[in-house]
Structure 1
Amino acid sequence: MARKKIILTIGAFVIFFLFSFVFLLGKSPVKPPREFGATFSAMYAERFGFDWQKAYLAVLDDLGVKKIRLPAYWSEIEKNQGNFDFSRLDWQVEKATERNVEVILALGRKLPRWPECHEPDWVKNQNPDLKNKKLLDYIEVVVNHYKNSPAIKIWQVENEPFLKFGECPDFSKEFLDREIALVRSLDPPPGGRPLMITDSGELSVWVPAARRSDIFGSTLYRVVWNQALGSFKYPLLPSFFRFKKSLTEIFVGPKPMVIIELQGESWARQMTYEIGVGEQYISMNPEIFRQVLAYASQSGFDTFYFWGVEWWYWLKEIEGKPEMWDIAKEAINSLDNDY
């Protein structure tokens, strides 16, 4: 009798789970891609050894993105304490403004590209409380510098703050909330810009990030590398993202959600610029990239920011391999402009 009761309980749980899964999938239907943007890092582009300004203009003019995410690296803008050099980022924002390209400006300590946390040398040996104070001071300067720019449409506060990844100090939800409150106070509603918080698509629970944001950004990676398994492909169907999106909305309510990093770059044991094309192509190549685009189109999201444009430019201009660039350009050009 007890065994029968256990079987019935398990069966009821399985049926409930399947019903819930199907129900939540229905709340997040498949959508055709509506917009493609990109993340661009001048710092990362320089590591490939080419002119980052030419690459940036190519992303805007040849690739043709109309949305771009730019990191405001603390380590670059305030190399010396109290001295702020916005020249590189100003140039990028200016070129975006001239082309009516919408900018997400990423602020904070943890921002896109390795080592993830980008602190200036002068602050690294200071105690955590003083570091945090200096970071808040820096964020205030950056927001005040750019809040009158018509190109800046979204503030992103930190990058995947809830994901333990990179060379970073211990994460504090309380300090993240202080950063968010500061940005909101400097650019307040009703005219203030929305805030984006991001998180890992595959490895994180989205609710803490989504709850704090006006717009939530997830990553979407297919082939990755880690020390234990080497290169491997996530065994996840696109419906995983649709389910997760609907489940998150139960807890935080409906709000805009985008794929802020759509994998278009290799992920290997070393940095992409440290290995040859043969090794790069193990985890990302034109065939895999087309598969990623097809997968993304079934994910329930309709706005995607490409990850890897600096690498594509290097492949095209230095290695004579334009395929990755051309596939992305084709995807952008195929969008329904009347959507």
Structure 2
Amino acid sequence: MKKSKGKKKHPLNWREVPARLWRKKWLRVIAVIITILLVLFLTARFWNPIIFPPVKQANIGMSFSVKQTQMLGLDWRETYRALLDEKTGMGIKHLRLMSYWDLYEPEQGKMDFAQLDEEIAIAKEYGADVSLAIGLRQPRWPECHEPDWATNMDEKKWQAALLNYIGAVVQRYEKNSTVISWQLENEYYNGLFANCRLATPTRLQTEYDLVRHYSKKPIWMSMSDQFGYTKDMPTVDRYGFSVYRVVYSTGLYNGYMTFPTPIWYHRLRAAIISQTTGKDIFIHELQMEPWAPTDIPYASYKEQDKSMSVNQIRESMLFAREIGAKDMYLWGGEWWYWRQQRGDPSIWNTVREEINKAEQ
């Protein structure tokens, strides 16, 4: 019996592959959708202001960290006053200050708030108000500002020591009219940059109950830029989220990346949180300093400008205003002054121009 001959196979011509694939309807639809999304993403800066008008008469504040001025080799008082002075400086009227546990209780039971007292007194001198960060996790690296003496304590004693410190801070400034609110922990559940000890819902609720016991002032909490919701958070008075645009990534690859989250995502997220909680939403941290592969003093101006240049400052401010939150705290004032003191006033002047524009 003769074997039947199978269908003769023709060698694959790779030049014909795109044409063959294009004949598949579902692939054409996907390609068109991807193309539209890519075009929209690349041209967003032109149509965003039309669809999402920038908020006007914004309330612009700023975070200020004594630790950051020390890292930059600056005099904190000189830097702080320059940022607050309305005539010759930036004229900031809303501040987020830090009550670092390791800084103000360097030895267990021995608290010294002289420096923080001075920060708040200077703010009052310039007519600025203060939102005071409290708790273990506060802005600036290493995020978890734990004193050395607490590192090896068992869980029960450690939490008691932390609660004792938080209570002392709240009671000290409860009657100070310059301090208008408390930020309880900073991005408490954000494990991407730091994993603070015992970051549980139970501990967070205990801290909230303690602060509310001692204070009638508003309490707010924060979430990160790309993700986070109010799940497992106490019902506070306000919620904040950060906005970062260009950062140096060390995750999937080493290099600079622009966060792809569009304005509509931030607006939708804010609307959902506001509608489901009935609470106000604002930007607690708008990136206005470089995110380089090294600390700022070790990065050249060229390297710094890759993630925060004059143009990026303008783009980031517009982006934040298009999100629609009227209240926003800028991040990076210490760096603006550092660049100015080193002979480059362009960053300082640009930020001042953008603040003036946003407040009109």
Q: What TM-score does the superposition give when structure 2 sets the normalisation length?
A: 0.81
Aligned twin of 2:160? 133
Residue 244 (structure 2) pairs with residue 221 (structure 1): yes
Structure 1 pair 29–132 and aligned structure 2 pair: CA distance change class (3 A): farther
Residue 277 (structure 2) pairs with residue 277 (structure 1): no
Larger Rg: 2
Q: C-alpha displacement at 1:47, in angstroms?
A: 0.8
Among candidates 111, 114, 119, match of residue 92 of structure 1? 119
Aligned-partner Cα distance in 1 for 2:198–2:179? 30
**Quick one: which amino acid aligns to residue 184 of structure 2?**
V
- The question of whether the paired residues in 2 share the 8 Å contact of 1:41 and 1:71 is answered with yes
Structure 1 pair 274–125 and aligned structure 2 pair: CA distance change class (3 A): farther
- The question of whether the paired residues in 1 share the 8 Å contact of 2:205 and 2:233 is answered with no
Q: C-alpha displacement at 1:70, in angstroms?
A: 0.2
Residue 350 (structure 2) pairs with residue 327 (structure 1): yes
Q: C-alpha displacement at 1:331, in angstroms?
A: 2.4
Aligned-partner Cα distance in 1 for 2:57–2:332? 18
Structure 1 pair 33–221 and aligned structure 2 pair: CA distance change class (3 A): farther
Provide the secondary structure at the position in 1 that maps to 2:267. Answer: helix
Structure 1 pair 211–74 and aligned structure 2 pair: CA distance change class (3 A): closer
Residue 66 (structure 2) pairs with residue 42 (structure 1): yes
Structure 1 pair 211–77 and aligned structure 2 pair: CA distance change class (3 A): closer
Render the CA deviation track for 1:113-137: whole Å, top value 9, x for unaligned: 0000001111111122211110000
Provide the secondary structure at the position in 2 that maps to 1:63. Answer: coil
Aligned-partner Cα distance in 2 for 1:46–1:289? 24
Residue 312 (structure 2) pairs with residue 292 (structure 1): no
Among candidates 168, 173, 188, match of residue 201 of structure 2? 173
Aligned twin of 2:139? 112
Aligned-partner Cα distance in 2 for 1:46–1:252? 39
Aligned twin of 1:23? none
Gaps of at least 5 residues in structure 1 are: 1-6, 8-27
Gaps of at least 5 residues in structure 2 are: 1-25, 27-51
Among candidates 127, 130, 145, match of residue 172 of structure 2? 145
Aligned twin of 2:84? 60
Provide the secondary structure at the position in 2 that maps to 1:282. Answer: coil
Render the CA deviation track for 1:277-312: whole Å, top value 9, x for unaligned: 222111111111111011112112111111000111
Q: Which runs of 4+ in 1 moved over 4 A?
A: none
- The question of whether the paired residues in 2 share the 8 Å contact of 1:197 and 1:209 is answered with no
Alignment of 1:69-88 (within 5 A): 69-88=96-115
**Quick one: which amino acid aligns to residue 285 of structure 2?**
E
Residue 253 (structure 2) pairs with residue 232 (structure 1): no
- The question of whether the paired residues in 2 share the 8 Å contact of 1:74 and 1:108 is answered with yes
Residue 272 (structure 2) pairs with residue 247 (structure 1): yes
Provide the secondary structure at the position in 1 that maps to 2:330. Answer: strand
- The question of whether the paired residues in 2 share the 8 Å contact of 1:115 and 1:167 is answered with no
**Quick one: which amino acid aligns to residue 123 of structure 1?**
A
**Quick one: which amino acid aligns to residue 193 of structure 1?**
K
- The question of whether the paired residues in 2 share the 8 Å contact of 1:210 and 1:252 is answered with no
Render the CA deviation track for 1:188-237: whole Å, top value 9, x for unaligned: xxxx11001001121x2222377632011110000112212321001122
